């Protein structure tokens, strides 16, 4: 049995990744393959195949597996809910994977994996309370307290993406429908998709988030304006978190976290929304970047 080994799986909307890690957090093997979009059985088989490859590399079997998913697990039914990869919803995936892999498998939200990874040996190391937000295709967050995940009785601790963006007029919320069935969720403003939508609503042009950020860097006035609006939106979204949780550090992951302006300009914008008019909360980029999800999934197996 591979007691010194951990296997993490990051099941994303477009790619599925495996990592083989030792308990000293050294990475030994990693592979990324396309996700079988829309096909639950094929998704299970993809995970099975990736675990087998990692075990072949370790030359051992029975290694503990942790899986990060783009959704949460119902404490009542054990089934997946809230997944924007909607073909996972309603499935008892933890049970299916445990049966398929013939071992205990631990599942959690992908943003929880980010929080676990960054609190263990990333930007949040040595911080008591870490709020880790994914600003990617979607928008979610996880909370680590003293190195342990906060999940809660409903399995939604940190599901910050699906609150309405605070201090925002109703007329700005309505043009932003969310897959969850509501309007104006943080996700519809603060994800990369949300940035694109802000740009489209103000300019009529459809552009991907990375291009808007690049154009802003190159001096395009419309892109600069969109990015400034995004930073204002992000300040509101994160100030609401500080007002409730007051974490020791906020760590950002996902594609939008690579936007350098966030770290220069956001701290100055937070104080006007944080109760009391002052804010000393550090905002840091995830140290492990895109790897945080899969590394956190491996740490999840370390129980």
Average of per-residue pLDDT across 86-106: 96
CATH assignment at residue 50: 3.30.420.40
In DSSP terms, 141 is beta-bridged to 133
Is pLDDT above 70 for 303? no
Q: Which backbone phi and psi does 281 adopt, to 5 degrees?
A: -70, 120
Say if residue 161 is in the same domain as residue 33. no
Give the integer Cα–Cα distance in Å for 230 and 158.
Answer: 21
Report the pLDDT value the prediction gives residue 13, as an integer from 0 to 100: 83
Examine the domain organization and report whether 265 and 166 are in the same domain.
yes
Same domain, 142 and 200: yes
The pTM of this model reads 0.92
Structure tokens, 61 = 């079997």
CA distances 172 to 55, 123, 177, 187, Å, are: 50, 34, 11, 14
Tell me, yes or no, whether 22 and 140 share the same domain: no
Name the percent of the chain lying above pLDDT 70: 99
pLDDT given for residue 124 in this prediction: 98
pLDDT at position 88: 96
Q: Is residue 88 part of a domain?
A: yes
* Domain co-membership, 90 together with 162: no
How sure is the predictor about 279, in pLDDT bands with cuts at 50, 70 and 90?
Answer: very high
- Return the pLDDT at 155: 83
pLDDT score recorded for residue 3: 79
Query: In the chain, helix, strand, coil percent, each to 5?
Result: 40, 20, 35
- Render pLDDT for 18-42 as a digit per residue (tens, 0 to 9): 999 999 989 999 999 999 999 999 9
The verdict on 9 and 108 lying in the same domain is yes
219 within a domain of the structure (yes/no): yes
**150-207 tens-digit pLDDT:** 988 888 899 999 999 999 999 999 999 998 899 999 999 999 999 999 999 999 999 9
Domain span at residue 276?
Answer: 126-286
User: Which pLDDT score, from 0 to 100, does residue 162 have?
Assistant: 93
Are 61 and 132 members of one domain?
Answer: no
Instruction: Give the chain's largest Cα–Cα span.
Output: 59
Mean pLDDT for the chain overall: 95
Question: Residue 2's pLDDT is what?
Answer: 57
Verify that 103 and 10 share a domain, yes or no. yes
Asked whether residue 224 falls in the same domain as residue 189, the answer is yes
Q: What is the pLDDT of residue 153?
A: 86
Q: What is the pLDDT of residue 180?
A: 87
Asked if residue 62 has pLDDT above 70, the reply is yes
User: Based on the domain organization, do 271 and 139 belong to the same domain?
Assistant: yes
* β-pair type (80-81, 105-109): unpaired
Question: How many separate domains does the chain show?
Answer: 2
Residues 212 and 195: beta-carbon distance below 8 Å? yes
On the question of pLDDT at 50 being above 60, the answer is yes
Percent of the chain whose predicted confidence (pLDDT) is above 90: 89
- Write the pLDDT tens digit of every residue in 193-252: 999 999 999 999 999 999 999 999 999 999 999 999 999 999 999 999 999 999 999 999
pLDDT one-digit tens code per residue, 286-301 = 999 989 999 999 999 8
72 and 209 belong to one structural domain = no
């Amino acid at each position: 049995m591979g007691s010194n080994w951990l296997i993490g799986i990051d099941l994303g909307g477009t790619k599925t990744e495996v990592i083989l890690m030792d308990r000293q957090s050294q990475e030994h093997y990693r592979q990324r393959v396309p996700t079988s979009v829309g096909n639950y059985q094929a998704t299970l088989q993809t995970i099975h195949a990736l675990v087998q490859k990692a075990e072949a590399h370790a030359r051992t079997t029975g290694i503990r597996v942790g899986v990060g998913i783009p959704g949460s697990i119902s404490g009542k039914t054990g089934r997946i809910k809230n997944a924007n990869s909607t073909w996972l919803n309603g499935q008892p995936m933890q049970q299916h994977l445990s049966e398929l892999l013939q071992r205990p498998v631990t599942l959690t939200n992908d943003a929880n994996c980010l929080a676990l990874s960054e609190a263990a040996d990333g930007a949040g190391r040595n911080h008591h309370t870490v709020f880790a937000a994914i600003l990617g295709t979607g928008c979610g967050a996880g909370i680590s307290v003293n190195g342990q995940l906060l999940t809660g009785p409903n399995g939604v601790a940190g599901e910050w993406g699906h609150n309405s963006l605070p201090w925002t007029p109703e007329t700005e919320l309505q043009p932003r429908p969310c897959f969850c069935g509501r309007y104006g969720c943080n996700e519809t403003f603060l994800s990369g998709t949300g940035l694109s939508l802000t740009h489209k609503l103000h300019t009529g042009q459809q552009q991907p988030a990375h291009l808007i950020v690049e154009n802003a860097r190159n001096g395009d006035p419309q892109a600069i304006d969109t990015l400034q609006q995004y930073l204002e939106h992000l300040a509101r979204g994160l100030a609401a978190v500080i007002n409730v949780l007051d974490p020791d550090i906020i760590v950002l992951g996902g594609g939008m976290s690579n936007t350098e302006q966030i770290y220069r300009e956001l701290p100055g914008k937070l104080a006007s929304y944080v109760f009391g008019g002052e804010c000393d909360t550090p905002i840091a980029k995830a140290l492990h970047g895109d790897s945080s999800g899969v590394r956190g999934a491996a740490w999840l197996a370390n129980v």
